Structures are given as C-alpha cells and as structure tokens.
Amino acid sequence: MNAFFTTIVMGFRHYFRDRSTVFWGVLFPLILMGLIGLAFGRSDSLTFSVGFIDLGGGILAEGLRRGLNEVPVFRVVEETDPPQALEALRKGRRTLVVVVPVSAGEPVRVYFDQARPQDSRTALVILERFIAQANLRLSGAKETVRIQATGLQGQRQLRFFDFLLPGILAMTVMQTGLMGVTWVVAEYRQRLILKRILATPIHPLVFLGGLVGRYTVTNFVQMAIIVAVAIAAFNARIVGNPATVIGLLMFGTLVFVGIGFAISTVSKTPESANLLGSAIHFPMMFLSGTLWPREFMPDFMQPVIALLPLTPLVDAMRAVAARGDALGPHLPGLAYLGAWGIGAFALAAWRFRWE
Amino acid sequence: MDQVIVDIQNLVKRYGAITAVDHVSFQVNRGEIFGILGPNGAGKTTTLEMIEGLRVPDGGTAVVDGIDVRRDPRGVRSLIGVQLQEAGFFDRLTVEETLQLFGSYQRKMLPPSEVIDRMQLQDKRRAWVMNLSGGQRQRLSIAVALINDPRIIFLDEPTTGLDPQARRNLWDVIERFREEGRTVVLTTHYMEEAQRLCDRVAIMDHGRMVALNTPRALIRTHAPSTTVALTVLEGELAYASLPGVRNAEVSNGEVVLATSDPMQTVHALMESSRTGKIGFNQLRVEEATLEDVFLHLTGRRLRE
C-alpha cells in the first residue's frame, strides 16, 4: 500500500511542478469557458426546440409543420403525448410546445416556460410572425389560424453557464485521459523509467494502479478549481446531487484514463501517442456536446455522435448537474461508457510492455 | 553460509540470428568485487540483466543467493541493488523524493538521508533530478541501488562517461561496499577499473566468456611478458638473445623488449652498459595489463 500511495503523492507533485500541464489542465478549460460564455452567454440557447403535437391532422397541421421547419432557429420535434411534451418543456428540453387542435376551429395552443422569459418571448414572436404571414397567405379562406399562448411554470431557469459547466467538466475528464495519460507509458518506456521500476520487487499492477490513482487525484483537484472559479466568476450552479455528480466524474475519469493507457501502450513513441490522443480528443470535444448542445450538429452526424464514448457522459452530467434529473434514464449510456473502459484496460493490459 | 552467492550456468540469450550471450557460466563469491570486462556489444549488460530478472534467458539458469531468478524474479530483486546503465528517473522529483519513491517499492528501506550522505549528494537533496550533472545522476542511480540495503549490488558500467576525478571517487565508494561485506558485480570496458577494483574478472567477447580469474593470474597466464623499453644512445647488442627476452623491436634507437624474466633482462642490460657495450637512458619496465590479456585472447583491443 505504501508503494501505491507514494506513487500517487510523488506523481501528484511531479505533475503540478510542470507548468504546461497546469495550463492545459486548469487554465485552458477556464479560458474556454470564459470565451464560450462571452460568445453565447447572453442568450439562453441558440436554437429553440419546438415540440409539435398534431392532434387533428389535416392541411392546417401540415402547413404549420412545413412552415415551422422552415424557420432556421426552430428545431421541430414531433410528439404525440401532450403531458410528456409539457414535462419536457418544464425540464427545459423544449422552448415551445405547439399543439394543433382536433378541429380546425379551435386555436392552436402554444405553451412556453415562464421561467425563461427571454427565450420564450423570442420564440413566441417568431412564431406569431410566422402565423401572421400564414394568415396573410390564407386570406380569402374561411378560417384563419389563431394561437393561444399558455405559460407554464418550468422547473427552474437553466442559465448558460449552468449548461456549460457540466460539459466543461466532462471535457476535463476526457482531456486528462486523452492528453494527460497518453504520453505517460510510452514516455516512461522510452526514457527507461519503466525498466528502472521493473528492477525493483514491486508488482507492476501496484505501480500502474498508482498511476491511475494519481491521474484521478490530479483530475479531481483540477475540477475542484474549475468548479470554484466557475461558481465565483461565472455564477454557474450545480443543482444536482453532488454525490451523483462526483460519482459520474469518478467513473468517467477511470474510463478515460483507461482509454489513455490503451493508447499509450499501443504507441511506440510518446509523440505518436499524443497525436493519436489529440486526434480522438478534438472531434469529441466539439461533437459530443461539451460546449454547445449536440443537437447543433447536422442530423447525419447524430448516429456517429451517439457512438462517441464522451456523449453519454456529457448527457448524464448535464442532466444530473444542470437539471437535477435522476440518473436512471442515463444508465444504458453509462453502461456503454463502462464497456469502453473495460475494453481499454483489457487492451492496455494485453499490449503493455516494459521496454 | 554458502560461499557462492551468484551461480549462473550456461546462460543463453538470442536476438534473432544473433546470439548475444552464448552459454556463459560463472560463480560469484560472497563479499568479492566481480568484474565483467569486455568491449561494447560483448554481452555484458545482457548477462547482468538476465541475472537481475529483467530479461528472460533462452537457456541456462541464474541462481542468486539460493533463489532461481526465473522462478522468483521479484524475490531476487528484493535482495539485490540494481544500477542500470541507462535509467530514467522523474525529472521533477528531488533526489530525496526519488529515493523515497523507489524505497517504497522495496521490501526493506534505508533512511534516504543515510544513502544521500553515503553518495555525497547532501547539497543536492532538494534539487530536481533534471538539474543534476552527469556525475550526480550516476551517484543518484547508485543511491537508488543502495536504498534497500542489498547484499549484492549490480553496477552496469558505473563510471562510463565520468571524468577521471569522479571515477576515482566512485571507485572508493565501490571499495567501501566490499568492506561492508556486500558483494559487487560490475561490468566495465575500462581495463584500469577492472584491474584496480575487481577481485576476479570475467572477460567477455562476442557473447562468450573467454577467461575468468584474478587480474594477476590472468596477466600471468595470458600476457606473461613484461615490457622493457630503453632509448639506446650508442652501441649495439643482440637484444633477442638476452636472458628472458622473447621478442625485440628496434627502431630509431628505441628498443622495446618483451621478456618473461624482467629481472634477468634488466640485469643483462645494466651489465652491458657497465662494460661499455651500449649506452642508453630512459629504461622503463612496464607490467602487462588486462588490455594485453584481451589483445592476446581476442587479437583486438578493448576499445576499437
């Protein structure tokens, strides 16, 4: 045990004595968060997710559907069950819910979240303008479309930094694995540090366990700093259960450290390990919804994005930390992430060489 | 207590078509400094690393203090101190932290300060490894080998790359290991080092052990000639027929004689000088060295 803890303590000191790793581990995520906040922070979100429930069918619904789809900032989601759609609205997953009535005479009902007046008003204005145009085109027809807007009490106002912080934390978890760990094994092997350790009676697994422990500890220190700064400087909030959030981050850290080890053991040189790590890191950072909702990405990318190991972590983190959701619906995704971790550690153990 | 502490029999290591170590056998006695002398690429390091359990031999056995290395490599490593020819340490740990770290990997650990004092690293206790000089790094490397208070210390080319002063300091350190009753196995390609330090020397070339004995016995057996050199100012002599002389070379008044009996040869030369047959100055008598032994055994010099 002494060897395990000494490896962690010494690794920790070694890590924080290197300024460049402190920059990438702590300052970079904070700077990124500040910049993204500056660029997008004023609006709550960039597109409005519109739930569309067609109870009546018919020409009116068809025209409205086509028209809504043409509005660039609307992302129309077809739904069938009004209570479910309204629940999504309360949780902040929809900006508006549009219900087309059974009979053509009734008004089209529009629901919005009162807790997000800015978004709702913008979306409503856009919708009203669109309806007005539609009415103009329909002039001469018997019926005109009327809308009836109803405000719902949403769960809470989700602010941009509340949304951003879980993504940044998930990104930091990934970064520790793919940028921090990748070069380590290849570098220690190239510089004959592994050989020097092999020349002692320590069991190799104790040393490697110490390395994993060391990265877990450094990662949590980094994240604690990021959370503290995000709360103090950006007024971000974590509303979910802290224990669940910490558990998620711990789980994610182990998986991505495992992926880092796997990359590191299969690479001949630290340089190639770094390249491979970055090549995987950057697409995930932009695609998996760390910095903005992954719904922003084009539809044809969505199946690929769903397969990325970071995606379930970001989804679960955001749901729990920012919305206070339960973990349950995210368990299949997390199991998928866990499979990545097991596969990565198995690959690392299989391909591990001391020299 | 068994006199033999390291016993290797028919060790073989092959890399593809090359046989790096070819059926090498020797025994190291408790408390001696045992040297493996040979040029680069002779198989010295590979032999040492098979005994340390860092490389798996393709044949043969290595037993250290009664433990078979292949059966219990970690058991062997807990008994021995290992200094690797090239070892990496963590750049941003201090000397003291490095010793604490590697000490924690051992089953037994001396206080780091004691080892630091031993290796004269007191001034560098809190210095980062990346800021050490070559000699200081080498002393740290030996300090790490010493941290588990080992009975047997393996040193792989411990003085390579050091300046003469640092080399002599290290020789003193290694001799102290012997005084403390430790066994030292070292490799070197410096014949002065083998001659000065080692109780017994194994000479290796092309993966084979070509000779093993005390330095003195090796010289007596394989390079029995002593060189007698003189600068002749006047006169001439049938040098080759002087007593003991086996070979004589004369060029520009420089006479170099190889003799099996330096006393008789010098006596005859002095006699010739006294009777006025020749006049000479700068008479030098040079003992043969392990370099001559190596030359005799392999037809090549150690450093070529």
For every residue of B88-143, DSSP letters joined together read ---TTSBHHHHHHHHHHTSSS---HHHHHHHTT-GGGTTSBGGG--HHHHHHHHHH
Give the Cα separation of A40 and A248 in Å (integer).
27
Length of chain A: 355
User: Confidence band (pLDDT; 50, 70, 90) for B64?
Assistant: very high
Q: What is the pLDDT of residue A107?
A: 78
Q: What is the pLDDT of residue A64?
A: 78
Q: What is the ipTM of this complex?
A: 0.84
What 3-state class would DSSP assign to A186? helix
Average pLDDT, whole number, for chain B?
A: 90
Greater confidence (B177 vs B299) lies with: B177
Nearest chain A residue (CA) to B142? A196
Q: How does pLDDT run along chain A (355 residues), one tens digit per residue?
A: 688 899 899 988 888 888 877 787 778 888 887 887 776 655 545 567 888 888 876 777 777 787 777 776 778 888 888 888 888 887 777 888 888 887 767 777 888 877 666 667 777 777 777 777 767 666 555 556 666 766 666 555 567 788 888 888 999 899 888 887 888 888 888 888 888 998 999 988 888 889 889 999 988 988 998 888 888 888 888 888 889 999 999 999 999 999 998 988 888 888 888 888 888 888 888 888 888 777 777 888 888 888 889 989 998 998 888 877 788 888 998 999 999 999 999 998 888 777 7
* Domain covering B4-220 assigned CATH 3.50.50.60 in the classification: no
Strands B80-83 and B152-156 turn out to be parallel
Phi, psi of A236 (to 5 degrees): -80, 160
Third-level CATH fold of B225-287: Alpha-Beta Plaits (3.30.70)
Q: What is the pLDDT of residue B123?
A: 93
Statement: residue B202 has pLDDT above 80? yes
Greater confidence (B124 vs A59) lies with: B124
User: Confidence band (pLDDT; 50, 70, 90) for B279?
Assistant: confident
User: What does the buried/exposed string (b/e) look like for A160-193 if buried means 16 or more CB atoms within 10 Å of the residue's CB?
Assistant: bbbbbbbbbbbbbbbbbbbbbbbbbbbbbbbbbb
pTM of the model: 0.75
Q: What is the pLDDT of residue B76?
A: 93
Domain ranges, ordered by start, for chain B:
4-220, 225-287
Q: What is the pLDDT of residue A154?
A: 56
Digit-coded pLDDT (tens) for B232-260: 888 888 888 888 888 888 888 888 888 88
Question: How many CB contacts within 8 angstroms connect chain A with chain B?
Answer: 69
Chain B contact for A191, CB < 8 A? Answer: yes
* Count of C-beta atoms within a 10 Å radius of residue B303: 11
Give the Cα separation of A319 and A245 in Å (integer).
10
User: Confidence band (pLDDT; 50, 70, 90) for B82?
Assistant: very high
Q: What is the pLDDT of residue A267?
A: 82
Q: What is the pLDDT of residue B127?
A: 93
Q: Average pLDDT for residues B197-205, to the nearest whole number?
A: 94
Cross-chain Cβ contact B97/A13 below 8 Å:
yes
Residues of A in contact with B100 (CB under 8 A): 6, 10
Q: What is the pLDDT of residue B1?
A: 59
Cross-chain Cβ contact A10/B88 below 8 Å:
no
Contact A214, A260 (CB under 8 A): no
Q: Average pLDDT for residues B125-148, to the nearest whole number?
A: 92
Picking from A1, A9, A10 by the largest number of B CB atoms within 10 A of its own CB, the best residue to mutate is: A10
User: What does the buried/exposed string (b/e) look like for A49-58 if buried means 16 or more CB atoms within 10 Å of the residue's CB?
Assistant: bbbbbbebee
Statement: residue B108 has pLDDT above 70? yes
Measure CB to CB from residue B93 to each of A14, A194, A199 and give the nearest one.
Answer: A14
Q: What is the pLDDT of residue B100?
A: 94
Cross-chain Cβ contact B84/A196 below 8 Å:
yes
Q: What is the pLDDT of residue A143?
A: 53
Chain B contact for A205, CB < 8 A? Answer: no
A325 φψ region: left (φ > 0), alpha (ψ -120 to 50), beta (else): beta
Q: What is the pLDDT of residue A253?
A: 93
Q: What is the pLDDT of residue A41?
A: 56
Q: What is the pLDDT of residue A186?
A: 82
| B interface residues, A as partner, C-beta within 8 Å | 52, 54, 74-75, 77-78, 82, 84, 86-93, 97, 100-102, 104-107, 128, 144
What chain A holds in terms of domains, given with CATH numbers, is 2-40+159-351 (no CATH), 48-152 (3.40.1710.10)
